[in-house]
Amino acid sequence: MSEKRIIPIVMPKWGLSMEEGKVTSWLMKDGDQVKVGDQILEVETDKIAGAVEASDAGILRRRIGQADTIYPIKTLIGVVADADVPDSDIDEFVSSYVVPAAEEGEDETGPRYDFIDTAAGRLRYIKRGTADNIVLLIHGFGGDLDNWLFNADAFAEKATVYALDLPGHGQSTKTLGDPTVAGLARAVLGFMDAVKVDKAHLVGHSLGGAIAIEIARTNKNRVKSLNLISTAGLGPDINMDFIGGFVAAASRRDLKPVLENLFADGSLVSRQMVDDLLKYKRLDGVGDALAALKDGVFAGGQQATNLSAALKSSGVPALVIWGAQDKIIPVQHAKAAAGAKVEIIEGAGHMVQMEQAGKINSLIKAMVGG
Amino acid sequence: MARKISIRQALNEALDQEMARDPTVFVMGEDIVGGMGGDGDKDAWGGVLGVTKGLYAKYGDRLLDTPLSESAYIGAAVGAAACGMRPVAELMFIDFMGVCFDEIFNQAAKFKYMFGGKAETPVVIRTMIGGGFRAAAQHSQVLTPLFTHIPGLKVVVPSNAYDAKGLLIQSIRDNDPVIFCEHKNLYGHESDVPQESYTIPFGEANVVREGKHVTIVTYGMMVHRALDAAALLAKDKVECEVIDLRTLSPIDWDTVLESVENTGRLVCVDEAHPRCSIASDVSAKVSQEAFKALKAGIQMVTAPHTPVPFSPALEDLYLPSAEKIASAARKTMAN
């Protein structure tokens, strides 16, 4: 009877810095039928709140994690099993559960991020997974590779995932040779050369989406597919109050209301999220880099580069995802994505990949295969 | 930000990066090189607690060991600043500041005002504060309120390594005289610090813990005691908001007032003596500006109005503890 399936639900690890999370509430109750991808409970970290989704189907048999309680990552917080698994087996499973040891490379003292010298300067990146199929994640204006907190590990189940900090962002060089979509596209191609990636599925968010289309325009042989989330490059409109406010804000008080525009649910902007962005903005060179990008990419208060024709003519398979409540780039721009599969996500603003991570992960996983 | 370093290392890195960036930055003080000056190993000591270790080998004569005459070299630093240099003077203990009050209070703090804004004095005076080091009454004081009293001076007190680096770089780049206070019991305290240079603006407090019941306002080593108190109180479901002022001049009233408007309760914690302290200053401001928000009388937890005792047992009693802070917070919760 050892074949009976008992599936642990554990405190997830969202991103490199997460060490513990708080169970905020259970969305299902004992005995509920669970399908793959169902949201089972909500967890809050010091960075953001999110839902834990089912990786396997079954019946929710035990809710172990208590609401408003903090657990270290990988702690057993629930059990899913088939209906015919006896309670005694589940008791046995719970009482004998051992939190797995840290995997190689997870060591707290070991390197969490990598750096590589490219034509555009020194860039920070992460690499997850070992498959031949490669997925490259490109963040947007003012973002960094942690914007893929809820996505990178999901994609890495069946692919090798790279996520980089663009020049001027995160912990990459703060020097921007050419602060335009074309210049950043050349920087990303240089990164692909440096890490010896010939061809990849590109996943781009916002400005990162425009960069991905530009790469497909100039080097379509290096692009397997385009996965564009709330992408720039498909129309002129851009919320310049957000861009200007983001560049100018120097304090938590100024930055927080600006960041709230990124989400359908502004309460997702945590103190830690604001602090992390302030820490980035205080670095020498960041102010100049962001101002140069604002003038280069959004010259004259609108998007300087329209790539909708290039998207169509590239012939590269494309998926366009948009948050229905996007306050930064209007969802109407999705109409300009001729030939692409378009998905509009309710309950999400501009940061769709954070706010509705589960949906985005399954849409993109279907696109990039494995 | 995977790299954890100590406050000592963070200060060293700030000095190193600013000396590399700006040739007008130089460092002077007692024993900051290691005695007589010289090559190689001669700088092994790097100041009484090792903050300037290794810099002499890199920057040579831009580190000056001074005679034991604070009034002379603080005066020299103030004069050099008025002439376009950016000196960082290390005045070992804040307790010794008294012998150069004229240079600081009447010269450095007054130049910009008295010369109609035409003179600037970008001098940083680094100095150690605080008790718990068994260093007796003349080496353990927290004299921060003396300096916040003087218009024209900026007063900075980091509580962690991230703030220490960003605030010291800001202090060096700032065009006004800055009294930069380092707590001698915190030099080994570690936190995540970016390798790159960055600045933290003056006058922006850090909310180090959010809570809705009681606001605790403090700075320096007491930030850590306040966090310990908040952890104790959390067990009783009392949620404290802990505010680290980071800079005492300028001071971030907005963050303090906003917090008290949310919680309605205030505990001011200060390692300085109670009279005319940062704690009494914050209490007065909140009484003036947010009286209607208060649900209970303001509590202060400070050192007593006595010299710092040399007896370790007495010194431990002298310093505000997490238990004393928690007990003060409970008093505000009582009504």
Main-chain phi, psi angles of A151, to 5 degrees: -120, -40
Does B2-194 match B206-333 in CATH topology? yes
Angle at CA A357, nearest 5°, toward A354 and A362? Answer: 150
**What pLDDT, in 10s, does the model give residues A310-331?**
999 999 999 999 999 999 999 9
- How far, in Å, CA of A201 to CA of A191, rounded? 14
Position with higher pLDDT, A42 vs B175 = B175
Out of B2, B166, B204, closest to residue A112 by CB:
B2
Tokens 């971030």 — which residue? B252
Q: Taking the mean position of all CA atoms in its chain, how far away is CA B218?
A: 11
Alpha-carbon distance values, B140 to A200, B118, B143 (Å): 61, 37, 9
**What pLDDT, in 10s, does the model give residues A229-287?**
999 999 999 999 999 999 999 888 899 999 999 999 998 898 888 999 999 999 999 99
> Please, what is the average pLDDT of chain B?
94
- From chain A, the residues in CB contact with B255 under 8 A are 253
Q: What confidence tier does A105 reach under pLDDT thresholds 50, 70, 90?
A: very low
pLDDT higher than 80, residue B303: yes
Determine the average pLDDT of the residues in B116-131.
Answer: 96
Judged by CB atoms closer than 8 Å, whether chains meet at B2 and A252 is answered as no
Known catalytic membership, residue B139: yes
Give B118's contacts (C-beta < 8 A, 6+ positions apart). none
DSSP string across B74-94:
HHHHHHHHHTT-EEEEEEEEG
Residue A151 neighbours by CB distance under 10 Å: 25
Position with higher pLDDT, B330 vs A358 = B330
- How far, in Å, CA of B92 to CA of B138, rounded? 12
What is the per-residue pLDDT for B3? 85
Q: Which CATH architecture has domain B2-194?
A: 3-Layer(aba) Sandwich (3.40)
- How far, in Å, CA of A86 to CA of A125, rounded? 46
**What pLDDT, in 10s, does the model give residues A19-65?**
888 898 899 999 999 888 788 998 887 767 778 888 788 999 999 99
Pick the CATH number of B206-333 from 2.60.40.10, 3.30.420.40, 3.40.640.10, 3.40.50.920: 3.40.50.920
Note if the bond before B250 is cis, omega within 30 degrees: yes
Q: Are A279 and A207 in contact (CB under 8 A)?
A: no
Three state DSSP letters for B106-134: HHHCCHHHHCCCCCCCCCEEEEEECCCCC
Judged by CB atoms closer than 8 Å, whether chains meet at B196 and A271 is answered as no
Tokens 């009233």 — which residue? B253
What is the per-residue pLDDT for B160? 98
Q: What is the amino acid identity at position B202?
A: F
Out of B162, B197, B207, closest to residue A284 by CB:
B197
**What pLDDT, in 10s, does the model give residues A156-182?**
888 999 999 999 999 999 999 999 999
Determine the average pLDDT of the residues in A141-150.
Answer: 93
What is the per-residue pLDDT for A74? 87
pLDDT higher than 90, residue A4: no
**A213 min Cα distance to partner chain B (Å):** 31
pLDDT higher than 60, residue A109: no
What is the per-residue pLDDT for A20? 86
- From chain A, the residues in CB contact with B197 under 8 A are 283-284
**B166 min Cα distance to partner chain A (Å):** 8
Q: Are B270 and B228 in contact (CB under 8 A)?
A: no
Catalytic residue among B139, B189, B213, B224: B139
- From chain A, the residues in CB contact with B200 under 8 A are 282
Q: What confidence tier does B2 reach under pLDDT thresholds 50, 70, 90?
A: low
Tokens 């008294």 — which residue? B98
**What pLDDT, in 10s, does the model give residues A57-103?**
899 999 999 988 889 888 999 999 988 888 888 988 998 888 877 65
pLDDT higher than 90, residue A1: no
**What pLDDT, in 10s, does the model give residues B209-246?**
999 999 999 999 999 999 999 999 999 999 999 999 99
Supply A258's token pair. 């600006």
Residue ranges of domains in chain B: 2-194, 206-333
Judged by CB atoms closer than 8 Å, whether chains meet at A283 and B1 is answered as no
**What pLDDT, in 10s, does the model give residues B66-101?**
999 999 999 999 999 999 999 999 999 999 999 999
pLDDT higher than 70, residue A106: no
Helices (H), A149-261: 152-155, 181-194, 207-218, 240-248, 252-260
- How far, in Å, CA of A308 to CA of A336, rounded? 6
- How far, in Å, CA of B219 to CA of B238, rounded? 21
pLDDT higher than 80, residue B319: yes
- From chain B, the residues in CB contact with A171 under 8 A are 1, 194, 196
- How far, in Å, CA of A327 to CA of A331, rounded? 9
**What pLDDT, in 10s, does the model give residues A337-358?**
988 999 999 999 999 999 999 8
Judged by CB atoms closer than 8 Å, whether chains meet at B196 and A253 is answered as no
Q: Are A235 and A308 in contact (CB under 8 A)?
A: yes
Closest CA to B7 of B45, B54, B50: B50
Judged by CB atoms closer than 8 Å, whether chains meet at B1 and A271 is answered as no
Angle at CA A322, nearest 5°, toward A321 and A328? Answer: 140
Environment class of A199 (CB within 10 Å of its CB; exposed 0-12, middle 13-18, buried 19+): middle
Determine the average pLDDT of the residues in B150-178.
Answer: 98
What is the per-residue pLDDT for A102? 62
Out of A112, A252, A284, closest to residue B198 by CB:
A284
Q: What confidence tier does A111 reach under pLDDT thresholds 50, 70, 90?
A: very low
Position with higher pLDDT, A192 vs A52 = A192
**What pLDDT, in 10s, does the model give residues B260-286?**
999 999 999 999 999 999 999 999 999
- From chain B, the residues in CB contact with A174 under 8 A are 196
For B312, the enclosing helix (H) or strand (E) is: helix B312-318
Supply B225's token pair. 């005691």
Sheet arrangement for strand A6-10: A6-10, A76-81, A58-63, A33-34
- From chain B, the residues in CB contact with A17 under 8 A are 1
Judged by CB atoms closer than 8 Å, whether chains meet at A171 and B196 is answered as yes
In A, what residues contact B, Cβ < 8 A? Answer: 16-17, 111-113, 171, 174, 250-253, 271, 279, 282-285
Q: Taking the mean position of all CA atoms in its chain, how far away is CA B249?
A: 10
Judged by CB atoms closer than 8 Å, whether chains meet at A251 and B162 is answered as no
- How far, in Å, CA of B269 to CA of B327, rounded? 12
Out of B162, B196, B201, closest to residue A283 by CB:
B196
